[in-house]
Structure 1
């Protein structure tokens, strides 16, 4: 054990996906500012993402750069899930566990500054036995909300199956979660369905299950959330999280340079986008973006484009990756001086905080959700995959800061007329309740992270627990 006067040394293990790693780096910055010494595991292809954190905390944060484990089922050079086809994700999670041995060897070579705790992403459940071998507790970092974390753990804990003959509408109940929510089978995580339906190799599937079950053996969860957003799921320990303690410390992203600004080189400068938005009345523009990994099919893009034209709402549509826009749409929008199409990365945080932006059409990825919450912008929920259906339910039914834009799902195109009506309702009187609630929730989020706020105090308590080790 380290002497009592030593600075506690914590090992952080992120999952190399933008939506997972960036909030863990934000948490790392908060921990470093409170006097902890940190080592962050990375691989050569992901090391550049650490540069801002290392520059901000050169004396307290160090990288541990290890080769990404090769796997015969993964393309050579793949070290991040960015632009990674979904079929590779289960194997990617499985392959990453091979970092166990080199991390253990490194940890045992640190007698001057021994590790006192491991904080790792919930896709890195293999760090639970790793921490046990080092002889320290492991804390699970969840980049999702508490509800979005409890649902998949419930599935792997109970091994729910869809009965033979039932279609994708089969309802899956979650009786141990407050409110007893239910989701259709089509809304269930792809990773869980890949395991339970035998769509991946047995070794890969068992790795997915064991990762989740190991999380339930940890010391507790650190979650990027706060009580005003998820209070009913924080009031008491959840069975589906192993009855473990949850430190709710979010939103962890700083107001400036938040996750939306760090995902890549912006295709449009914040100043240029702001200047374009300046021409529109307050709250009149709909900002449309589905994150860095969701790509609309031509049918989905066509329905969205038609809905935007039929509703006549001003908009900014961010098209990422290989996304398509119907031929002629961009020119018509520009000619009408009513819409902007951004191809590539956009300064999302700056856009959401512009007075002209009144709504955010989103896939409901948790980072995007928190950026909108912090900005006080209500959402039009169009979930695609992963935890997004759970997040959409939370936003619409629990928090009241969103309207459903589309039932969602990868490849599912909405009815253009129905989507146009949703857009028109949102900017009209029917959207007033969600707009007001979004402003209230933004104020709650700001209070939570200030000195004396719930997230600030939970973070302080977490650091104190680390310092006792």
Structure 2
């Protein structure tokens, strides 16, 4: 914190239109320099850049994923990914409840399961995967997933996420509403921004546990199913979220283009650093 207080300022992966009041507060009340240069994910405009971001071992190739998504209607697929660390802390019992909720919701889905999480590799999950694959209802990706490619596909209508900032901003940049399930750190604050302020998501009701995802309470099947249906369903609530999410997507794209707020902030940062060098 001492070093932070001595720094020249912060470069932030965000954009002014997303959290205007907070940016102004930081500048005028906290009196800290900051440059909002995001969403940085929008720098990956080429397909190979999107598919390769954070690349690792995966059980299903990008082309196969895209072919499956191409067979689905717009805004109908749920994408589930809890990131790298959280996946290791999701119990077998919670994994089963998520699977049952997905099947009962009757929504198509792509579910990323961390390959090193042996607790999730049960005969039950293997059997569930085979049944969903046969019915063409769902894909289970074991390991890394091309998240930017998936989120930016028009078939994806909802993202079940723990609300890490990178994933949150990637969903906003893609215009995808979120099903929020925070587990640690700043994720509960990000959830409040998504659900209460921006109104582009709905919460499953998870309470953040200890510093290492301790004491996570079980979220029941009917709760998960209900929130999935509210976001990805055909009701008024889901439709309103999708409209707001698409408006934010356009604002995000405009921010990083020439003349946009993030473009201007990056230009300002470069000019200030050059002036200090002189």
TM interval, short-chain normalised: 0.7 to 0.9
What is the TM-score when the length of structure 1 is the normalising length?
Answer: 0.52
Contact 2:58/2:142, CA 8 A, preserved across alignment: no
- Secondary structure of the residue aligned to 1:277 is helix
Distance 1:331 1:228, change over 3 A: same
Deviations 1:129-153 (A, max 9, x none): xxxxxxxxxxxxxxxxxxxxxxxxx
Contact 1:311/1:424, CA 8 A, preserved across alignment: yes
Distance 1:306 1:266, change over 3 A: same
Measured in 2, the distance between the counterparts of 1:320 and 1:385 equals: 18
- Secondary structure of the residue aligned to 1:331 is helix
Higher relative contact order (CA 8 A, sep 6+): 2
- Over aligned residues, Cα RMSD in angstroms? 1.9
Kindly report which structure 2 residues correspond to 1:17-56, keeping only aligned pairs within 5 A, or say none.
Answer: none
What is the TM-score when the length of structure 2 is the normalising length?
Answer: 0.87
Question: Match for residue 247 of structure 1?
Answer: 35
1:303 to 94, 97, 107: 97
Measured in 1, the distance between the counterparts of 2:37 and 2:231 equals: 31
Measured in 2, the distance between the counterparts of 1:258 and 1:223 equals: 21
**Count of aligned positions:** 257
Kindly report which structure 2 residues correspond to 1:368-379, keeping only aligned pairs within 5 A, or say none.
Answer: 368-379=167-178
Contact 1:401/1:437, CA 8 A, preserved across alignment: yes
Measured in 1, the distance between the counterparts of 2:136 and 2:50 equals: 29
1:412 to 217, 221, 224: 217
Shift of 1:414: 0.3
Deviations 1:164-214 (A, max 9, x none): xxxxxxxxxxxxxxxxxxxxxxxxxxxxxxxxxxxxxxxxxxxxxxxx232
Question: Match for residue 329 of structure 1?
Answer: 128
- Secondary structure of the residue aligned to 1:262 is coil
Contact 2:105/2:229, CA 8 A, preserved across alignment: yes
Distance 1:359 1:388, change over 3 A: same
Question: Match for residue 384 of structure 1?
Answer: 183
Contact 2:77/2:108, CA 8 A, preserved across alignment: yes
Matched, 1:213 2:2: yes
Measured in 2, the distance between the counterparts of 1:302 and 1:213 equals: 45
Question: Match for residue 19 of structure 2?
Answer: 230
Deviations 1:313-335 (A, max 9, x none): 11000101433155122122123
Shift of 1:421: 1.0
Q: Which runs of 5+ in 1 are unaligned?
A: 1-211
Question: Match for residue 423 of structure 1?
Answer: 228
Shift of 1:438: 0.6
1:271 to 52, 63, 67: 63
Question: Match for residue 351 of structure 1?
Answer: 150
Matched, 1:318 2:112: yes
Contact 2:50/2:149, CA 8 A, preserved across alignment: no
